[in-house]
């Protein structure tokens, strides 16, 4: 009861937000929040730290950009194409990387992502260092003009809510329970007869597909697909968002994404712009040393202690 009130309240805020704040910034936050939520599905609920998740964001973005510029598809089909491409790549990469665990998993995903980085750098259709620019937003279902920022905002909000709902559904399904069992005690999950690697693999694909969905949507918002999205910095950023917000919590990645995007936006305006990476690194260090629950995790702890 309490939780559903919270959901309705947040939805209300999200609906009126574009009249108070700059819609493009809000859309950026929503795209990154979806990306972080998808990432958190792996890190927070299966215990797998992927250090190459940017590759799915970027693949979704490039494929959607290519489709929108060259085929005249409507935006929802363009986004679907990008998402499917990311899911396929996720199926391949997931199959390879779930063979190793822990720190090796992080290194394998990072190296696989770097492989695609060089592919995108050299492939003829991506525009190399310049990226793809001037990608049209098009008409949603052929009807609604997305070049209007307000229309675009509500579309992005709908995409985000769909992704958020899907992750929530996954986490609370029997499948999600098995994932949590794997996180808590992998040998026991194996001994109970679960094929652990297959469960990890499916979770990896869902996470990759939703990251691709986030990337595709982001490409439409900014009408741009570039190497920044596949760079390892981006993989690090999504880790930071999830860690800062609270890994393994439902709302953590959303809060973390808003905080990091907000911070970057704030810093890039002022003379502190040069310090972005230093500050992000410091947040990493502080979070790990003193603040491992993240913002939402720590709040939950306080709530539990005082009202539980």
Partner 1 sequence: MATFLGINLFGLFGQLLVGLINGSFYALLSLGLAIIFGLLKIINFAQGAIYMLGAFGAYLGLQYLGIGYWAALIVVPLVVGLLGILMERFLIRPIANEDHLYSLLLTFGVALVLQGLFTHMFGSSGLSYAIPDALKGGTKLPFMYLPSYRAWIIIASLTVCFATWWMIEKTKLGAYLRAGTENAALMQAFGINVPLMVTLTFGFGVALAGFAGVMAAPVYSVSPDMGSSILIVVFAIVVIGGMGSIGGAIITGLGMGIVEGLTKYFYPEASNTVIFLVMVIVLLIKPAGLFGKEA
For the bound state, the minimum distance from the C-beta of residue 35 to partner 1, rounded and expressed in Å, comes to 18
15 binds partner 1 (CB under 8 A): no
**Which lies closer to partner 1 via its Cβ, residue 76 or residue 101?**
101
Q: Contact region for partner 1 (CB under 8 A) — 13-21, 34-42, 102-110, 201-209?
A: 102-110
20 binds partner 1 (CB under 8 A): no
Report yes or no: 246 and 255 within 8 Å, Cβ to Cβ: yes
**Which lies closer to partner 1 via its Cβ, residue 49 or residue 157?**
49
The full 3-state SS of the chain, as one line of letters, equals: CHHHHHHHHHHHHHHHHHHHCCHHHHHHHHHHHHHHHHHHHHHCCCCCCCCCCHHHHHHHHHHHHHHHHHCCCCHHHHHHHHHHHHHHHHHHHHHHHCCCCHHHHHHHHHHHHHHHHHHHHHCHHHCCCCCEECCCCCEECCCEECCCHHHHHHHHHHHHHHHHHHHHHHHHCHHHHHHHHHHHCHHHHHHCCCCHHHHHHHHHHHHHHHHHHHHHHHHHHHCEECHHHHCHHHHHHHHHHHHHHCCCCCCHHHHHHHHHHHHHHHHHHCHHHHHHHHHHHHHHHHHHHHCCCHHHHHHHHHHHHHHC
Q: Contact region for partner 1 (CB under 8 A) — 11-19, 93-101, 188-196, 217-225?
A: 93-101
Out of 29, 36, 41, 49, which residue is the one contacting partner 1 (CB under 8 A)? 49
Number of residues that bind partner 1 (CB under 8 A): 40
11 binds partner 1 (CB under 8 A): no
Out of 6, 8, 15, 96, which residue is the one contacting partner 1 (CB under 8 A)? 96
Q: Contact region for partner 1 (CB under 8 A) — 75-83, 104-112, 140-148, 261-269?
A: 104-112
Q: Distance (Å, rounded) from C-alpha 32 to C-alpha 69?
A: 23
**Residue 265-294 contact track with partner 1, rule CB under 8 A, x = bound:** ---------xxxxxxxxxxxx-xxx--x--
Out of 8, 10, 11, 115, which residue is the one contacting partner 1 (CB under 8 A)? 115
7 binds partner 1 (CB under 8 A): no
150 binds partner 1 (CB under 8 A): no
Out of 63, 79, 112, 203, which residue is the one contacting partner 1 (CB under 8 A)? 112
175 binds partner 1 (CB under 8 A): no
Out of 7, 22, 118, 162, which residue is the one contacting partner 1 (CB under 8 A)? 118
Pick the closest to residue 208 from 94, 103, 104 (CA basis): 94
297 binds partner 1 (CB under 8 A): no
Summarize as ranges the residues that interact with partner 1 (CB under 8 A): 49, 96-97, 99-100, 102-104, 106-108, 110-112, 114-115, 118-119, 121-122, 232, 236, 239, 243, 274-285, 287-289, 292
């Amino acid at each position: 009861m309490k939780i559903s009130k919270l959901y309705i309240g947040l939805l209300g805020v999200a609906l009126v937000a574009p009249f108070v704040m700059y819609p493009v910034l809000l859309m950026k936050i929503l795209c990154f929040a979806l990306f972080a939520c998808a990432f958190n599905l792996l890190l927070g609920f299966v215990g797998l730290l992927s250090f190459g998740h940017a590759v799915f964001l970027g693949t979704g973005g490039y494929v959607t950009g290519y489709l929108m510029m060259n085929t005249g598809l409507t935006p929802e089909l363009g986004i679907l194409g990008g998402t499917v491409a990311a899911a396929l790549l996720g199926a391949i990469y997931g199959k390879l990387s779930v063979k190793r665990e822990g720190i090796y998993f992080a290194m394998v995903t990072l190296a696989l992502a770097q492989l695609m980085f060089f592919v995108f750098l050299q492939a003829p259709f991506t525009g190399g260092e310049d990226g793809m620019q001037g990608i049209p937003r098009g008409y949603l279902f052929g009807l609604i003009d997305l070049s209007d920022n307000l229309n675009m905002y509500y579309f992005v909000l709908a995409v985000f809510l769909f992704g958020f709902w899907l992750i929530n559904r996954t986490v609370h399904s029997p499948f999600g329970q098995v994932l949590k069992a794997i996180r808590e005690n992998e040998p026991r999950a194996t001994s109970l007869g679960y094929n652990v690697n297959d469960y990890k693999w499916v979770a990896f694909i869902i996470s990759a597909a939703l990251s691709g969905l986030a990337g595709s949507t982001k490409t439409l918002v900014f009408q741009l697909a570039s190497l920044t999205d596949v760079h390892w910095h981006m993989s690090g950023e999504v880790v930071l968002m999830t860690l800062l917000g609270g890994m393994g919590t439902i709302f953590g990645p959303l809060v973390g994404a808003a905080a990091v995007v907000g911070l970057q936006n704030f810093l890039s305006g002022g003379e502190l712009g040069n310090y972005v990476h230093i500050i992000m690194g410091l947040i990493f260090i502080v979070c790990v040393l003193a603040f491992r629950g993240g913002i939402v995790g720590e709040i939950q702890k306080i709530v539990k202690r005082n009202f539980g």
